[in-house]
Amino acid sequence: MPDNRHRGRWQESPWFAWWYFAISAGFFLLAIYYCLRGGRPLLIALRCVIAVAFAALGYLQRQAGRADKRRRRP
């Protein structure tokens, strides 16, 4: 079982996952904006990849928080 003693309180907060989701939404909205404005396709695709990566981080952070809660139950 991994040792999670090095994790700070900020990483245990459920809001930390939503922080990643908010960043993901921002990059996705930027991609839409530049798509509508006729931006370069490579940069639009890069913004979409970054948005998906931050969404994945948010999902993994949320799952880790749920696993911590289950592990703490008596």
Domain that holds residue 66: 24-72
Give dist(CA 56, CA 38) in Å, integer: 27
Count how many domains the chain has: 1
Please indicate, yes or no, if residue 62 is contained in any of the structural domains. Answer: yes
Report pLDDT for 15: 81
38 φψ region: left (φ > 0), alpha (ψ -120 to 50), beta (else): left
Residues ≥6 apart with Cβ < 8 Å to 4: 68
pLDDT by residue for the chain (74 residues), tens only, comes to 455 555 555 556 678 889 999 999 999 999 999 999 999 999 999 999 999 999 999 999 988 876 666 665 55
- pLDDT of 7: 55
Q: CA–CA separation, 20 vs 55, rounded Å?
A: 6
